[in-house]
Amino acid sequence: MAAPQTVSPPEYVPLDEPPFSWRAILEIVQALALAVVISVVLNLFVVQVTEVRQRSMETTLEQNDRVLVSKLDYRFGGPQRGDIIVFNPPTPDATIPYVKRVIAVGGETVDLRNGNVFVNGKQVDIAQAHGATQPQAPQIAYPFTVPDGQVFVMGDNRTFSSDSRTFGAVPVPNIIGKVILRFWPFDRLVFFEW
């Protein structure tokens, strides 16, 4: 009778793949670099997040609100009356962008009478605006004709706003973009429709 045969298990042959893969690291670095490039391009040319730092737009926009600013809108057309814009103020001492509402555009005439705003002789009532609209600086004489290529801006909180009544019209190239969305705080999320 033949002796029983024993079967030995197959030998484990390790793969030649190292535990550390440079290829995986390179793919992660490439993905991160692409994400950074896309983010920079979007921020420079398409949209930008801005924090509202002043109280001049209360209650439309509160201090510390975060808004999304479209940089594309004014590449295809100019600012319109009623737009809420973010811009670099034309004053040398300003270090942060301002957020204000466009009241008049180039060629239009602004007048302030009895606490009210008139554009081209017609009273302009903006539902969100409050407080008497008074002149602020003697060098801005009314009626004031907005130069071509500029806009006249004011905050909705008229009593506590440093705006075109103080520093004059804003050149269109100073405009960063148009506010299209307030996304923070989440309980006050709103799309601004124009």
- As a whole number of angstroms, the distance between CA 98 and CA 167 comes to 12
Active site residue 56: yes
Given 56, 70, 162, 164, which residue is catalytic?
A: 56
Q: Where are the alpha helices (DSSP H) in 46-175?
A: 73-76, 164-167
Name the CA radius of gyration of the chain, rounded.
29
Active site (annotated) includes residue 161: no
* Rounded CA separation 58/45 (Å): 28
DSSP string, 143-169: SEEPPTTEEEEE-SBGGG--SHHHH--
Q: Which of 70, 71, 100, 178 is catalytic?
A: 100
Name the burial class of residue 52, with classes exposed (0-12), middle (13-18) and buried (19+) by CB atoms within 10 angstroms of its CB.
buried
| Catalytic positions | 56, 100
